[in-house]
């Protein structure tokens, strides 16, 4: 906030958001809100969605952040060709409140545990599918160890994941979907020595690959502010944790230089978003996953944001024309030739 104000850009200033009431469809009167807290306060999450529909650019998109979790994000990484540890989703040890055995009749009992163990292997990690802050993260040595630790997980939905026994580890900030700060890191050290590890610097080629993966993941997820962690095994970076939309950036943990990068990059980015904000429009970032889904184009293969804008418009036009053609068909029931084919051709004409 101080950094934005120091820059003294014309008509731009920053302050803590102040809320004294939240009325449906009423704006909060900010061009941009940087959200660092709604993961812990559902009231704020709902207030931010209400601000978003009223034109505020919320960093990060509160809708996407309400939707994704680590398991889906791993599935997305698989589709994008970004290496991730082999991972399976486990049903919670205990039934969620107000459910019964009947609610789980779709589950085989027992699950195909041998199939699961053969896929993941041991040692493994078990962690909540939507966790953070190293909470309830367990290292698992074998089957017996898993049963023991699974017993204590209650209603949490857990992932069981191959352990990547790593030679090196990186934590990377990504701001604005394209600005990347790669930090060599040693998670096995005590907190104060994680960034001061004394390791030799990494090869440029590896750093380039990491940067490429960080940008790809964040472009597809649609996060404006996130961190991605990689464990390196045999020269391959495996994405371990990339669902951190309010990542730690404490000067005491990341050090002066990384802290300075985050403050400066985030301040400049927030100002940029304020300049681009347009009243009466949606000013959120929507990732390529959502955009390709809406445009009904394949997930990968040169779908630039510009191309997607054009495709979305075409898809909208197409569906409008199909609806129109359907209505005509219903009217003129005597003309059975008004078929799908006609409807499908029309949008092509309109494109011309």
Ligand X SMILES: Nc1ncnc2c1ncn2[C@@H]1O[C@H](COP(=O)(O)OP(=O)(O)O)[C@@H](O)[C@H]1O
- Which residues contact ligand X by CB under 6 A? 85, 125, 127, 131-135, 137, 161-164, 187, 229, 231, 240-241
From the list ligand X, Mg ion, none, partner contacted by residue 164 (C-beta under 5 to 8 A by kind): ligand X
From the list Mg ion, ligand X, none, partner contacted by residue 163 (C-beta under 5 to 8 A by kind): ligand X
Please give the Cα distance from 324 to 314 (Å, whole number). 15
Residue 168 binds to Mg ion (criterion: CB under 5 A): no
Structure tokens at 268: 């400049």
Among 241, 284, 285, 303, binds Mg ion (CB under 5 A): 241
Cα dist from 35 to 15, 60, 126, 264, 291, whole Å? 13, 7, 29, 17, 22
Q: Is 230 left (phi over 0), alpha (psi -120 to 50) or beta?
A: beta
Q: How far is the CB of 136 from Mg ion (least distance, A)?
A: 12
Query: Per CB under 5 A, which of residues 295..314 are in contact with Mg ion?
Result: none
From the list Mg ion, ligand X, none, partner contacted by residue 131 (C-beta under 5 to 8 A by kind): ligand X
Q: In this structure, how many other beta carbons lie within 10 angstroms of the beta carbon of residue 65?
A: 21
From the list Mg ion, ligand X, none, partner contacted by residue 325 (C-beta under 5 to 8 A by kind): none
Residue 162 binds to Mg ion (criterion: CB under 5 A): no
* DSSP code at position 152: T
Q: How far is the CB of 113 from Mg ion (least distance, A)?
A: 27
Q: How far is the CB of 159 from Mg ion (least distance, A)?
A: 13
Please give the Cα distance from 123 to 162 (Å, whole number). 7
Residue 224 binds to Mg ion (criterion: CB under 5 A): no
Residue 226 binds to Mg ion (criterion: CB under 5 A): no
Candidates 48-56, 159-167, 234-242, 334-342; binding stretch for Mg ion (CB under 5 A): 234-242
Please give the Cα distance from 217 to 237 (Å, whole number). 13
Instruction: Considering only the C-alpha atoms of the chain, give the largest distance between any 2 of them, rounded to a whole number of Å.
Output: 81
Cβ–Cβ < 8 Å for 14, 1: yes
Cβ–Cβ < 8 Å for 129, 157: yes
Q: How far is the CB of 123 from ligand X (least distance, A)?
A: 9
Q: Footprint of Mg ion on this chain (CB under 5 A)?
A: 241
């Amino acid at each position: 906030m101080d950094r934005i104000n120091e820059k003294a850009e014309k008509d731009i200033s920053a302050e803590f958001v102040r809320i004294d009431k939240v009325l449906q469809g009423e704006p909060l009167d900010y061009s941009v809100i940087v959200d660092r807290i709604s993961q812990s306060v559902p009231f704020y999450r709902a207030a931010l969605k209400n601000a978003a529909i009223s034109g505020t650019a919320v960093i990060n998109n509160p809708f996407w952040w309400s939707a994704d979790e680590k398991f889906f994000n791993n599935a997305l990484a698989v589709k994008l060709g970004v290496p991730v540890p082999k991972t399976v989703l486990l049903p919670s040890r205990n039934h969620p409140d107000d459910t019964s055995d009947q609610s789980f009749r779709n589950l085989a009992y027992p699950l195909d545990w041998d199939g699961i163990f053969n896929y993941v292997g041991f040692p493994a990690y078990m962690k909540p599918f939507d966790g953070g802050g190293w909470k309830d993260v367990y290292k698992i040595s074998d089957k017996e160890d898993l049963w023991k630790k699974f017993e204590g997980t209650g209603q949490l939905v857990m992932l069981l994941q191959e352990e990547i026994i790593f030679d090196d580890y990186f934590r990377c900030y990504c701001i604005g979907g394209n600005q990347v700060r790669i930090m060599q890191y040693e998670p096995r050290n005590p907190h104060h020595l994680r960034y001061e590890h004394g390791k030799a610097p990494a090869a440029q080629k590896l750093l380039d690959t990491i940067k490429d993966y960080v940008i790809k993941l964040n472009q597809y997820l649609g996060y404006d502010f996130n961190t991605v962690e990689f464990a390196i095994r045999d020269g391959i970076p495996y994405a371990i944790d990339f669902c951190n939309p309010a990542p730690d950036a404490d000067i005491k943990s990341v050090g002066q230089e990384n802290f300075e990068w985050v403050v400066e990059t985030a301040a400049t980015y927030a100002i940029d978003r304020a300049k681009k904000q347009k009243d009466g429009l949606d000013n959120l970032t929507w990732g390529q996953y959502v955009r390709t889904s809406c445009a009904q184009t394949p997930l990968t293969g040169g779908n630039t944001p510009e191309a997607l804008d054009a495709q979305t418009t075409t898809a909208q036009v197409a569906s409008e024309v199909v609806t129109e053609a359907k209505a005509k068909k219903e009217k003129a029931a005597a003309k059975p030739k008004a078929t799908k084919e006609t409807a499908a051709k029309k949008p092509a004409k309109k494109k011309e």
